[in-house]
Amino acid sequence: MLQVRNLSKTYTTKEGTLHALKNVSVDINPGEIFGFIGLSGAGKTSLARCVSALEKADSGEIIFQGADITKQKGAALRTIRKKMGFVFQHFNLLMNATVFENIAFPLRIARQSSAHITQRVNELMELVGLTDKSAAYPATLSGGQKQRVGIARALASEPELVICDEATSALDPDTTRSILSLIRQIGAKTGVTFIVITHEMDVIKELCTHVAVMEGGEIIESGPVLDVLTAPKTPTAKRFFSKDYIDATWINLPKKRIFRAIFIGEATRKAFIHDVIRKFDIELSILSGNIESVGGTMVGSLILEISGKENILEEVQAYFHENNVGIKELSEHVT
């Protein structure tokens, strides 16, 4: 679907040259909902704007369905861009146009027939739950409704890739959840591939199948969301995804060691800790824990304080792994 190779982008500012992207490479496959997360200035939006050809990269390749976007011009580039949709943070709706006309706008630009426009817009209004708002103007809509219009407009030309740039950051939590659910449903129903730009960890957890963590214009870690969530490798990824940060004084308790255990899927429903306590000669305390849904998969995390003989602790860790429960000592994660 999309291959980005060694992409670089700089901007000239009053303070000098800003390196927004530095040799970024990533592969996105059809049907994925691929999230890019990072702090402000990490390069997320610059990447999105280069991929959508809203800006031109300084160097590198953006290969979309076999064609390098960076080498396309004129009609060829416009043809490629018709296969992409863009959902903006602040909606970017035409305030003097109705919901119907906002969704119809890209189709009118493409000179589609009136019959096709009417059919397509009606389909999209039903898809995003706005069939009763056809004649309404943006000023009368809630934030969530405006973003639903934006999503419908992005889908109007039947794109194969939709880029969402901070599409939920201006919305309240309840509305955000409804928009994320809508995007997930659209992806499952249509097979459209989504790129999601965000600084919100919950957006990645609830929506995305894959994630890339960006910092300083580079991708510093990437992979399936479950992999990055359960075993983040870089400090930035740990800041976003890890709950390993615990009180340093706990580590200094005699003969006590702190571990993080990860339970995925069916493992979250088993009385596993009870079995461990009965099976091994150890003392075990649960310091903290949580369970959440990540892309529809239940993931549980427990911070455990365990004391016992060294050989027994090694057997305990092996028992965790044998039962497909991840466990890792947290000494190196103490803050």
Give Cα separations from 312 to 277, 279, 282, 298, 321 (angstroms): 12, 11, 8, 29, 14
Chain region(s) in the chain for CATH 3.30.70.260: 248-329
Backbone phi, psi, residue 161, to 5°: -140, 130
Give the model confidence (pLDDT) of 235-261 as tens digits: 888 887 765 445 445 555 555 688 889
Give Cα separations from 168 to 122, 143, 197, 200, 245 (angstroms): 24, 9, 10, 9, 28
Q: What angle do CA 204, 209, 212 make, to 5 degrees?
A: 60
Gap between the Cα atoms of 190 and 144, Å rounded: 21
Give CATH superfamily name and number for 2-233: P-loop containing nucleotide triphosphate hydrolases (3.40.50.300)
Calculate mean pLDDT across residues 158-184: 90
Give the model confidence (pLDDT) of 20-68 as tens digits: 999 999 999 999 999 999 988 899 999 999 999 889 999 999 999 889 9
Give Cα separations from 126 to 71, 182, 189, 238 (angstroms): 38, 12, 13, 40
**Could you say which of 3.90.550.10, 3.30.300.130, 3.30.70.260, 2.60.40.10 is the CATH number of the domain covering 248-329?**
3.30.70.260
Gap between the Cα atoms of 251 and 334, Å rounded: 8
Give the model confidence (pLDDT) of 70-84 as tens digits: 998 888 888 888 899
The DSSP letter of residue 244 is -
Gap between the Cα atoms of 138 and 180, Å rounded: 21
Give the model confidence (pLDDT) of 247-306 as tens digits: 445 555 555 688 889 888 888 878 889 999 999 998 898 888 888 888 778 888 888 889
Residue 335 has pLDDT above 70, yes or no: no
Q: What angle do CA 235, 165, 34 make, to 5 degrees?
A: 60
Give the model confidence (pLDDT) of 201-232 as tens digits: 889 988 999 999 999 999 999 999 988 888 88
Gap between the Cα atoms of 170 and 167, Å rounded: 7
Residue 171 has pLDDT above 70, yes or no: yes
How many CB atoms neighbour CB 69 within 10 A? 23
User: What pLDDT was estimated at residue 107?
Assistant: 93
Gap between the Cα atoms of 22 and 253, Å rounded: 44
User: What pLDDT was estimated at residue 39?
Assistant: 87
User: What pLDDT was estimated at residue 233?
Assistant: 85
> pTM for the whole thing?
0.82
Residue 15 has pLDDT above 60, yes or no: yes
